[in-house]
Amino acid sequence: GIQVEQSPPDLILQEGANSTLRCNFSDSVNNLQWFHQNPWGQLINLFYIPSGTKQNGRLSATTVATERYSLLYISSSQTTDSGVYFCAVVLTSGTYKYIFGTGTRLKVLA
Amino acid sequence: GAGVSQSPSNKVTEKGKDVELRCDPISGHTALYWYRQSLGQGLEFLIYFQGNSAPDKSGLPSDRFSAERTGGSVSTLTIQRTQQEDSAVYLCASSLVAGTAGANVLTFGAGSRLTVL
């Protein structure tokens, strides 16, 4: 089955630092979302980005579908950015279920 | 409603009992998904419904798990004869239309935390 790998698995940053999170997938996809799971467990949609680049404040994302990866950029990190970041994809072939990646656990220190 | 609503938020049960978890999706959303998240782990797909089509049940871990969606809206996930390994957070999500580019954006509920003693 499809593999959705995220790197790094864990990341510790000082407040104000920048970071790049990566999502690699092993098959063709036509839907891709990035989520932030906050320390209380709530999953928040960050980007719906099957291709191209989007920006929202300090966050931006780029998906290169032909090369099967997506990147999430966090600039000027804040302690409220702490949590787990997941990417999720839907295969081009097959049913429309989202398959979640392994996640990146981020901790931002004050 | 304005968001995806799940109930109960917490459920503690004894091994062997049956439990029902409820999900009320965003009004107008035709696709509804159930996921399971064990402590410190990722999200495991269980089942999804799209309109009146047959649900994709490929992620249900055993025949003790079942789900239904009545009237294309509210969904109930039922776990029979619960086991300790069923302890997890059960998350529900909905989207406007599964499989349609731009319309398949998932919105999650807050989850139901199940503890089986």
Contact A103, A84 (CB under 8 A): yes
What is the per-residue pLDDT across A17-55, written as a single tens digit (0 to 9) for each?
999 999 999 988 889 999 999 989 999 999 999 999 999
The verdict on a CB contact (< 8 Å) between B106 and A45 is yes
Q: Kindly state the average pLDDT of the residues B94-110.
A: 82
A45, A96, A104, best to mutate vs chain B, most B CBs in 10 Å = A96
Q: Kindly state the average pLDDT of the residues A3-17.
A: 96
Return the pLDDT at B2: 80
Q: Kindly state the average pLDDT of the residues A83-108.
A: 90
% of residues, chain A, pLDDT over 70: 99
Return the pLDDT at B82: 98
Q: Kindly state the average pLDDT of the residues B74-99.
A: 93
Name the residue among B48, B58, B105 with its Cβ closest to that of A33: B105
For chain B, list residues whose CB is within 8 angstroms of any CB belonging to chain A: 31, 33, 35, 42-45, 48, 50, 56, 58-59, 89, 91, 93, 98-99, 101-102, 104-108, 110-111
% of residues, chain B, pLDDT over 70: 94
Name the residue among B48, B101, B107 with its Cβ closest to that of A97: B48
User: Residue B103 above 80 pLDDT?
Assistant: no
User: Residue B100 above 70 pLDDT?
Assistant: no
Quickly state the pLDDT bin for A96 (edges 50, 70, 90).
Answer: confident
What is the per-residue pLDDT across B31-79, written as a single tens digit (0 to 9) for each?
999 999 998 889 999 999 988 888 999 999 999 999 999 887 999 999 9
Q: Convert A40-108 into a string of H (helix), E (strand) and C (coil).
A: CCCEEEEEECCCEEEEECCEEEEEEHHHCEEEEEECCCCHHHCEEEEEEEEECCCCCCCEECCCEEEEE
β strands within B1-117, DSSP E: 5-7, 10-13, 19-24, 31-37, 44-50, 65-69, 75-79, 88-95, 107-108, 112-116
